[in-house]
Amino acid sequence: MKAYRTAWLTVLIAGTFLAACGPVRKSVFPPLVSVQQLQLSPDGHWRMQLRIQNNSYEDVKFTQVRLAMKVHGVAAGRIESAIDLDIPALSVDVADVHIMPSAPAARALSDGGQEVPYELVGTVSGIPESDSKPRSFKVHSEQHWLSPMPGIPGTWR
């Protein structure tokens, strides 16, 4: 009986140690997306740098953005672009995108001189380092502001 208990205890302790030595699964969280810079082009397009903050505890290769943008509560347009950003865990990078804004949104920025609120809603796709296929992360960035850059006409941050 004593040998049985000793064997059982040995198996239990060995199993506990083996379970503790297994691979640690890192957490993957949706990124934060905001506009780092917006420039008004002479042809009417907006050239933007989207700031993508990887909030995950592992590297993520971001491949696509599909976002609807509102400026001052008015639909500005859709940002649909393939991107190629390998962002390390808990780091940030920027993606260059372009949109043709709606007329009311273009007027909101062409007036200049004032901060304007904006909102981004949609998805960002990426492949976490521990996965082999893309995942779609929901984005809802609200309560952000764009301010005109003094001395740099047509540029907002």
SS3 for the chain, per residue? CHHHHHHHHHHHHHHHHHHHCCCCCCCCCCCEEEEEEEEECCCCCEEEEEEEECCCCCCEEEEEEEEEEEECCEEEEEEEEEEEEEECCCCEEEEEEEECCCHHHHHHHHCCCCCEEEEEEEEEEEEECCCCCCEEEEEEEEEEEECECCCCCCEEC
CB atoms within 10 A of CB 10: 10
Is the pLDDT at 19 greater than 70, yes or no? no
What residue ranges define each of the domains in the chain, with the CATH number in brackets? 26-156 (2.60.40)
The CA distance from 69 to 128, in Å, is 26
Mean pLDDT of the chain: 89
pLDDT in tens, 51-60: 999 999 999 9
Is the pLDDT at 14 greater than 80, yes or no? no
CB atoms within 10 A of CB 72: 18
pLDDT of residue 110: 79
pLDDT in tens, 93-146: 999 999 999 999 999 887 667 899 999 999 999 999 999 899 999 999 988 999
The CA distance from 114 to 147, in Å, is 7
Closest to 72 measured CA to CA, from 44, 99, 107: 107
pTM score of the predicted model = 0.82
